[in-house]
Amino acid sequence: MSFFNFPLAPPQASNIAQAYDPVFYALVALSVFFTVIVCAGVILFAIRYKAGTKADRSRPMYENLPLELTWTIIPLLLGLVMFYFGTALFVKIKTPPKNCEQIFVIGKQWMWHIQHSNGVRENNTLHVPVGKPVKLTMISQDVLHAFYIPAFRVQMGVVPGRYTELWFTATQAGEYHLFCNMYCGTQHSEMGGKVVAMDPKDYAEWLSNGGQSVAPMSMEQAGAKIYAKVHCDNCHGAEDTLHAPSLYGIYNKRRIFADGTSLLADDEYLRDSIIRPYDHITAGYGETMPVYQGQLTEEDVLNLVAYIKVLGTPIATTPTSIVNRHSAPTAVSPTNESSALAANAVQANTPDPDATPTRRVGSPAVGAVAAEGRNR
């Protein structure tokens, strides 16, 4: 695939990229112009004045002040013009507007740790809203790094011991490369990830969902969804039916089986009964339940078990608010993007030992986390 893939320009996805590209292409034009002049001139002269050819060599010139001044002043002026545009662009890149959304970035060997202003954290992925200026305040915890988003044409060093800044306004939703572009040791090339530019509405939702695109659910809620999805409720209803016993209040009850043995209905038992139901057939029922081994992920089963435990109680129907849980810092290398994301999702529900318990607004966040790093 990629053998025949010759992209000629990176995506243009920020206001800075829009200002950048004209300057870049102007320089390309200037370079092509002079390259053609020099190459054509050299080749032409080499052919025309090759020894032995009949060419006018009379009155050779060795010094010519006007000519020298011409090719001193014209490149100088062209250079100054390009310097002007380059500098204007540079000043734009270096001057963030006042109303920026502020996001904090910590670089450490070899990951990016990003914290949004409401405390939502993420690693190696930066979510930003489209159409709103974003300012990154960055610091390194160890060596030099550089935060580089080619599609936005922005890059800035991330230095230990001082904050550096970077700003842009994303103009197109999408996913773009994020690189560390200052050599920082063994896994330098893997210190990166992606920038996800989102519609401002999606971004706001993502942010209020604690860094997830859909509102996060409690395990019980997730379990309820699965319960409905795989149609457990077709057989396991509020009352025992012909096909299946009710699961309401089953947790921690002793179950009598067809072979006369019995077990306490603990987590282990519930899991077993979902994935291998025929190991323990409850007395009075047949082998009618489908085997879910391989059909459900362990995560699904965990959620399902959690739901079964509360079946029939008020919790099962009340939505729980768990906004502002933190995604834990994961040291997952992006060897496999999708599995890394999955791992992130799993850990979204586990307590984060590193996490700051409350929302943070304003700059202390970065300093606090940097201080954490020093204490390690």
Partner 1 sequence: MSSTVIPSGELGQQAEESNYLNVKHTIASWLLTGDHKRIALLYLVSTSFFFFLGSIAAGLIRYELTSPAGVVLESETYNKVFSSHGILMVFTFLVVAIPAIFGNFLVPLMIGARDLAFPRLNLASWYMYMTGGTLILAGMIFGGVDTGWTFYTPYSSMYSNGQVTMVIIGIFIAGFSTITTGINFVVTIHKMRAPGMTWFRLPLFIWAMYATSLMMILATPVVAITLLLVVYERTFKLPVFSPELGGDPVLFQHLFWFYSHPAVYIMILPAFAIVSELIANFSRKRIFGYHFVAFSSLAIAGLGFLVWGHHMFVSSQSMYESIVFSLISYLVAVPSAIKIFNWMATMYKGNIRLQSPMIYAIAFLMIFTVGGLTGLFLGAAGTDIHLTATYFVVAHFHYVMVGGTMLAFLGGLHYWWPKITGRMFSDGIAKVNAVIVFVGFNLTFFPQFIVGWLGMPRRYHYYYFAPEFQAYHIMSTLGATVLGLGFILPAFYLTMSLFTGPKAGPNPWGAHGLEWETSSPPPTSNFTETPIVMDEVYDFDPVSDHAKDLKDIEERNRRRSEEGYCGSEDDN
Report the site for partner 1 in 24-63 (rule: CB under 8 A): 24, 27, 30-31, 34-35, 38-39, 41-43, 45-46, 49-52, 55-58, 60-63
Cα 240 to Cα 256: distance, rounded to the nearest angstrom = 15
Q: Contact 263/223 with Cβ under 8 angstroms?
A: no
Closest CB to partner 1 among residues 177, 225: 177
Span 335-354, contacts to partner 1 by CB under 8 A: 337
With CB under 8 A as the contact rule, the residue among 120, 134, 136, 154 that binds partner 1 is 154
Cα 335 to Cα 234: distance, rounded to the nearest angstrom = 41
| CA distances to 20, 103, 107, 153, 155 from 94, in Å | 13, 16, 20, 12, 11
Residue 66 half-sphere exposure toward CB, CA atoms < 13 A? 1
Q: Tell me the number of residues near partner 1 by CB under 8 A.
A: 92
Q: Does position 197 bind partner 1 by CB under 8 A?
A: no
Tally Cβ neighbours within 10 Å of residue 115: 22
Q: Min. distance of Cβ 166 from partner 1 in angstroms?
A: 9
β-strands 101-108, 133-140 pairing? parallel
Q: Find the part of the chain contacting partner 1 (CB under 8 A) among 184-192, 255-263, 301-309, 350-358.
A: 184-192
Q: Min. distance of Cβ 117 from partner 1 in angstroms?
A: 23
With CB under 8 A as the contact rule, the residue among 182, 195, 296, 366 that binds partner 1 is 182
With CB under 8 A as the contact rule, the residue among 107, 192, 210, 223 that binds partner 1 is 192
Of residues 187, 115, 151, 206, the one with CA closest to residue 17: 151
Of residues 100, 105, 98, the one with CA closest to residue 365: 105
Burial class (CB in 10 A: 0-12, 13-18, 19+), 30: middle
Backbone angles phi, psi at 105, to 5 degrees: -130, 130
Closest CB to partner 1 among residues 168, 251: 168
Non-local CB neighbours of 44 within 8 Å, separated by 6+ positions: none
DSSP label of 172: S
Span 268-287, contacts to partner 1 by CB under 8 A: none
Cα 24 to Cα 11: distance, rounded to the nearest angstrom = 14
With CB under 8 A as the contact rule, the residue among 164, 246, 282, 330 that binds partner 1 is 164
Q: Find the part of the chain contacting partner 1 (CB under 8 A) among 156-164, 210-218, 263-271, 312-320.
A: 156-164
Closest CB to partner 1 among residues 91, 214: 91
Closest CB to partner 1 among residues 92, 255: 92
Cα 18 to Cα 317: distance, rounded to the nearest angstrom = 50
Q: Taking each helix axis from N to C terminus, what angle separates 219-229 and 298-310, rounded to the nearest 10 degrees?
A: 100
Residue written as tokens 């969902």? 209
Closest CB to partner 1 among residues 56, 239: 56
Span 58-97, contacts to partner 1 by CB under 8 A: 58, 60-64, 67-68, 71-72, 75-76, 79-80, 82-83, 85-94
Q: Min. distance of Cβ 191 from partner 1 in angstroms?
A: 10
Residue 279 half-sphere exposure toward CB, CA atoms < 13 A? 14
Q: Find the part of the chain contacting partner 1 (CB under 8 A) among 114-122, 146-154, 212-220, 356-364.
A: 146-154
Q: Min. distance of Cβ 15 from partner 1 in angstroms?
A: 14
Q: Does position 213 bind partner 1 by CB under 8 A?
A: no
Report residue 222 as tokens.
């997730």
User: Site mask, partner 1, residues 317-336, x = CB under 8 A?
Assistant: -----------------x--
Cα 288 to Cα 278: distance, rounded to the nearest angstrom = 9
Q: Min. distance of Cβ 96 from partner 1 in angstroms?
A: 12
With CB under 8 A as the contact rule, the residue among 156, 219, 232, 304 that binds partner 1 is 156
Q: Does position 6 bind partner 1 by CB under 8 A?
A: yes
Closest CB to partner 1 among residues 93, 310: 93
Non-local CB neighbours of 325 within 8 Å, separated by 6+ positions: 210, 216, 348, 349
Q: Min. distance of Cβ 346 from partner 1 in angstroms?
A: 22
